[in-house]
Structure 1
Amino acid sequence: MAGKKARQLNLIGILFLVLTAISLLSLVLMISVANQIYEDADQELSVPASDGATYESKIQTNSVMKSMLVGMLICSIVLPLICLITGISILRRKSHRSCIIGAVVVALMAFPLGTILCVWSLMLLCDAESRQLFGEQQDG
């Protein structure tokens, strides 16, 4: 039974690494979208308002858009890092508690694929036999 749990943990670790690759691809896409929005926002400031909007309201709107983009970019950078660390930790059977915390964070940030993966990994990581697999690596 421990062999089956070990194989499942290996599969989950590999799936976390796959999710890392998918997240990195979305990061590339996010950066290109952010660049385009930044350029459009700067061009819009140079065009006079035809609808009566004031220059200050345009600046405020652009500031909010840029702040949201920065937040999305930060999340797009943090998610692959957490997926990578969690996947490697599961594969190497290091820091059981960190694997659980990483799985919970990924579940919250990567809906729906991350949530499905993390529910399965949490069910497996909270199992006593799986916990022993982490203990064996730490003792040896």
Structure 2
Amino acid sequence: MRRAVLTAASTSALVILLLTLKPHHSAGLTGEAAPPDTTSAPAPTGTPHRGNHPANGTYTGAPISTRYGTVQVAATLKAGKLTAVKVLRAPSENGRDREIAAYALPRLTHEALSVHSARIDAVSGASYTSAGYIRSLQSALDQTGV
């Protein structure tokens, strides 16, 4: 009896510990998003980073095809820091796609601006849209050389 109680308590503690762990980056999960479209993205309007000169300008990320539609963002940098993210394309095939995008995209943008990078967590219930957003944002940031 005592062993059963100890086993149950240990198992419960382990489950709680596992549930509190949060992944740091979800874009690499399998099945999250398809490879980027081969369509060409507009050229960046910013100044690439060279040496000690921080990147400035707006950079358009690659359009990322997901199971529910394409996600594409543009990132604005000032003095090498992410200052704005504009969603250019988001899944909008039906009402549910629009509802998920309306819920997830502002949260993703807020988190990206708070950490000044694309190393953000996916929004629960919007994993495909989150993965597309993160990959498009990272492709925009890759253009800056920062």
Scaled by the length of structure 1, what TM-score is found? 0.30
Scaled by the length of structure 2, what TM-score is found? 0.29
* Structure with max Cα Rg: 1
**Higher relative strand content:** 2
**Higher relative helix content:** 1
